[in-house]
Structure 1
Amino acid sequence: MVLKCSPIQLAHSLLLTLGMGWLAPVWAIQEIRVGAAHFPPYIVRPERGTDTGLLSQLLAALNQLQGDYRFVLVPSSIARRVRDFERGRVDMLMFENPAWGWQAFSYAAVDMGLEDAEVFVARQHPDREQGYFDDLKGKRLALYSGYHYAFAGFNASPKFLTETFGATLTYSHESNLLMVLRGRADIALMTRSNLIDMLGCDPQAKAQVMVSERIDQTYRHFALLRPQAPIQSQQFAQMLQKLRDNGQLKAIFAPYKIAVVEM
């Protein structure tokens, strides 16, 4: 037996179905793609898919804080991150600074209220004092390729750094520190938080290095958002403020002596 519906019944069923659709949530969780370039301890080898850096902890805290947005990590690199940002492969980059080569791009900057520093590291020597770091001329420098250093006028060009300062460029702070410890370089420049992390895991190395009181730069971390990002800068700033207020930012960053400053 075939049941037939009258036109009125059919119309009623159609309206009921549409009405149920209207009652369903009309929004969906929006994905925010966050670029991740190796920058320990903030971001640690994201291309391996097992990032254990501070960015992963921060994204987890942001996702737990609210349900409108889902922040996901997208692997990039120091050299490629600008292109990924410009082409829309990522919506946001964190732990950046407008002084690091962003002058030609459009973005909204959100002050994350986090401060770190770049310090000089040399090997301990009986006759070596803090004055050793005053003049870099004639000293063999070990630098991280792609980083912007204040002593070099924030010029990250490998050609400029090698020709002007005779620097050796690598993609590893660990390699740079080993070069200093083994006498293959005189001075390495390192992110203070990363140095603290590395020396905390290697007490023997800690006893062999001298860290400068001179700071190459103290920098404030910003998040840079593309103009077309699904989230507005004001919304993201409010999320960070909530994490600051509930103590989660301090719990994530204070162990590495990354200052969480009041906004």
Structure 2
Amino acid sequence: MQSVVIAALIALVFFFNQASAKNLVRVGGYEFPPYIELEHGLAKGLTVELIRQLNQLQQEYVFELILTTPIRRHQDYQQGLFDAIFFEDIAWGWGQRDIAIDNSPAFAKDDEVFIALRSNASSQQWFDDLSGKTIAGILGYHYQLTNYETDPDILADTYRMTLVSNHQASVELVLKERTDSAIVTRSFLYQFLHAYPEKAAQLLISERVDQSYQHQLLIHPEHPLAIDTLYHWVQQLLQQEPLSKEFQRYKLELMPAQPSK
């Protein structure tokens, strides 16, 4: 009996040593549907699924999600709270702040478009000139319309922008006629209208695009996991289910894979 207990203890110690030997990759993420959605305090979405798939694909690294916010993510990264961030763009404040971080080639494309009530906006020409119109946006997000300004006071005073915490709130402000328009991602609109098809007749979606952005993977340059390796793994997963199906569902355009450097 004693030998059995000793063998079990040795196996347990070996298990924990193996687990601790794995390199941890803390992936920062903020509410940004369909990439990250928070429901009753739990995160779901494409980033969560990608993390799960990466952990299944290989055994050397363990990926885990660390929640942050759009406005706090740069500071949290610089303070060492996370190592990497997915579905991000180096142009979203990282390069401007001269933050040391490696970025992959783009692997997916999404757009930000405007919405308005059809009862107020009768045609696409309504979106041509948004001066004088109120607009809902997300706190901490960068918009081409506002020259990528993120200061809430400037956005409110100069661009008549109301800032909320998520796209759902932006859409609801339009539906309740509390703002004239809102900027939302095309991928979120597909998700929203799939859940609430009866709202489609009420909303006019602009052909005008505020900005198209190409999602990248970002990771600390001193992390043991090289950005080229991470990019290769993600490209491998994007060719398989369930990620390929999820990308099709949200009409996300996959970018051609780039060769390793």
Larger deviation, residues 224-233 vs 210-219: 224-233
Aligned length: 240
Pairing 1:236–2:230 present: yes
Does residue 152 of structure 1 match 2:146? Answer: yes
Residue of structure 1 equivalent to 2:43: 51
Structure of greater Rg: 1
CA contact (8 A) 1:92 1:229 kept: no
**Deviations 1:191-211 (CA, angstroms, capped at 9, x unpaired):** 111111111111121221000
- Equivalent residue of 2:81, what SS? coil
- CA positional deviation for 1:247: 5.5
Distance 2:212 2:121 in 1: 28
Question: Which residue of 31, 36, 39 corresponds with 1:38?
Answer: 31
Distance 2:201 2:29 in 1: 32
Q: What is the distance in 1 between the residues matched to 2:149 and 2:71?
A: 14
Aligned to 2:66: 74
Amino acid at match of 1:145: L
TM-aligned CA deviation for residue 66 of structure 1? 1.0
**Aligned equivalents of 2:120, 2:71: Cα separation in 1:** 39
Number of the residue aligned with 1:168: 162
The one-character-per-residue Cα deviations of 1:32-91 (angstroms, maximum 9, x if unpaired) are 00011111110112892x212111111111111111111111111112211111111101
Match of 2:79 in 1: 87
Please list, as runs of the form range in 1=range in 2, the aligned pairs for 1:176-215 lying within 5 A after superposition.
Answer: 176-215=170-209
Q: Contact (CA 8 Å) 1:109, 1:222: kept in 2 or not?
A: yes
Partners in 2 of 1:157 and 1:114 — Cα distance? Answer: 28
Give the aligned residue type for 1:43: I
Assess, with a 3 A threshold, how the Cα gap between structure 1 residues 88 and 55 changes in structure 2: closer, same or farther.
same
1:110-130 per-residue CA deviation (whole Å, 9 max, x = no partner) reads 124111000000001287100
Quick check: 2:49–2:243 contact (8 Å CA) kept in 1? no
TM-score, normalised with respect to structure 2: 0.86
Cα distance per residue 1:125-152 (max 9 Å; x no partner): 2871000000011111111111100111
Structure 1 position 252, deviation (Å): 2.8
Q: 1:176 to 1:98 in 2, by over 3 A?
A: same
Residue deviations 1:199-247 (CA, integer Å, cap 9, x gap) = 1111121221000011111100111111222311111111122223445
Contact 1:35 1:90 (C-alpha < 8 Å) held by counterparts: yes
- Aligned-residue Cα RMSD (Å) equals 2.1
Specify the code of the residue in structure 2 equivalent to 1:29: K
